[in-house]
Structure 1
């Protein structure tokens, strides 16, 4: 882990020195374009599925833990993530290309047009299998951990951020190899634009990563955890902020709706 952390710092310094400090924020516009609708789709689907599958508030009026179904949060989270990924995979592809090669929206549009003309519309969903392999287990592990901790430790609202950090770390560590694979599959997108070169499939990409034949790593299990530190530095605080904001706003709107309902009945 210390070596990975050192590699991360070295890479960040090299990028800042050669391309400027702002290069570390490359792909920000694509990230925002991806995150905002993705969050709306994801959380709306998640909450609706949890409700329809019978998942109810964690505490009864007596203060005892209600007997909820532990399998509901991971199942609902996995289904919600599949929905969001299918809707937004082309934007994820655009973000990866912006970050990897510094392409702007105009260049991304031209590249996408060429690729669609050559390989069909589904080429914009390149990297979808490893993205699903990363995001579906991540969401399932995250919400199983978060809701499980919150239920069993009788968490107050203020503890949501702490539990979000723990859940994000557990899910991030578990699914990181699929994040590496997804990134390599999408970076290969640009490499195929200049000619008719076929890019390897998901299974072949995993094999090339493990053997070091991809040209991106030394191979072995170490290759599957490349970039672990920067991903955790992103995922852990983001998970805490995300779930704390979600819980805060959900409780606020729920209380407002309750007050409105009582006022209407009065």
Structure 2
């Protein structure tokens, strides 16, 4: 009695995804600028907010994408926030929010709901082992990434250059014809290489840290547990985040130039970064990523837990009144 339904879990995660996107998007814009300002790219760039990624055209000239005609180089997070707001307008800090919400919210809903459902099934079968959240988080991330990967590729193609839906259909048809159905999952591997370890580390850390928070407030326990676990997972997985950003920037270039995306190597990109800037180069953009993902994890999980508690109490009240 009082247990929440999958649809209620979806509603709880949906509210968290919207709130998180609104609050942390500016920090992700700065992170991507810091990571891409030394990348050999002049046509397009990758934007992501931790929930979903997409590729946009960089015109540096005439066109609608005026916000990306950025002045000079950014020396850090605060410098980036100030320069973007001053030279490009405050609204530029929320660039790409609309398409992100359209795709990110369903993906986040699927991810959190899958995690809760999987964790419940594993706990019923194997008990309350501390490893179960890590396993459930990893399975949920792989499943979600695999499902949304073709949609992400299609959106990347649409945003890399002006295409009608008919043209997108033709591009996808030609891609399948020349490279097979697996071509729809281009970019899946680097996403998994970053997101799978992050999910495993995050959910394991969250479930271990949360009970140690010295408060009886579920919201505060969830908030600080999510912040701590998210920060730790961010630091440990950041090199792969940078490699994924650079790789998909190059993927956009190669898609535009009709060159096989398989020629891009994550390892070679990391090696190139180290050769150019030293080992510290693989941690470019770490500070804004921590400043984004730490609060994002805290806001997302606390909103989600609060929403679940609301529906659980609602269901208990409803059942007791019957």
TM range (shorter): 0.7 to 0.9
Alpha-carbon shift at residue 194 of structure 1 (Å): 3.8
Pairing partner for 1:195 from 257, 274, 278? 257
Name 1:206's counterpart in structure 2.
267
Pairing partner for 1:68 from 124, 128, 131? 128
Q: Which runs of 5+ in 1 are unaligned?
A: 57-66
Aligned 8 A contact 1:169 1:232 in 2: yes
Q: Please, what TM-score do these two structures have when normalized by structure 2? A: 0.64
Pairing partner for 1:171 from 233, 238, 242? 233
Name 1:64's counterpart in structure 2.
none
Name 2:4's counterpart in structure 1.
none
Q: Structure 1 residue 80 and structure 2 residue 140: aligned?
A: yes
1:185–1:110 distance in 2 versus 1, CA, 3 Å = farther
1:196 and 1:154 map into 2 onto residues whose CA distance is: 56
Q: Supply the RMSD in Å over aligned alpha carbons.
A: 3.4
1:97–1:192 distance in 2 versus 1, CA, 3 Å = same
Name 1:53's counterpart in structure 2.
122
Summarize deviations over 1:10-42 as a string: whole Å, max 9, x none.
555565566554443232222112221112111
Pairing partner for 1:147 from 178, 187, 207? 207
Q: Structure 1 residue 256 and structure 2 residue 314: aligned?
A: yes
Aligned 8 A contact 1:78 1:139 in 2: yes
Q: Structure 1 residue 34 and structure 2 residue 94: aligned?
A: no
Alignment of 1:99-248 (within 5 A): 103=160, 106=163, 110=167, 113-114=170-171, 117-118=174-175, 119-153=179-213, 156=216, 157-159=218-220, 160-200=222-262, 204-212=265-273, 218-248=276-306
Name 2:61's counterpart in structure 1.
none
Alpha-carbon shift at residue 109 of structure 1 (Å): 8.2
2:150 and 2:82 map into 1 onto residues whose CA distance is: 30
1:142 and 1:108 map into 2 onto residues whose CA distance is: 38
Q: Please, what TM-score do these two structures have when normalized by structure 1? A: 0.76
Q: Which runs of 5+ in 2 are unaligned?
A: 1-33, 36-73
Higher relative contact order structure (alpha carbons within 8 Å, sequence separation ≥ 6): 2
Aligned 8 A contact 2:160 2:256 in 1: no
The 3-state SS of whatever aligns with 1:70 is coil
Alpha-carbon shift at residue 239 of structure 1 (Å): 0.6
Name 1:25's counterpart in structure 2.
94
Alpha-carbon shift at residue 131 of structure 1 (Å): 0.8
Alpha-carbon shift at residue 155 of structure 1 (Å): 5.0
2:182 and 2:84 map into 1 onto residues whose CA distance is: 33
1:200–1:20 distance in 2 versus 1, CA, 3 Å = farther
1:177 and 1:133 map into 2 onto residues whose CA distance is: 10
1:262–1:16 distance in 2 versus 1, CA, 3 Å = closer
Runs of 4+ in 1 over 6 A off after TM superposition: 94-98
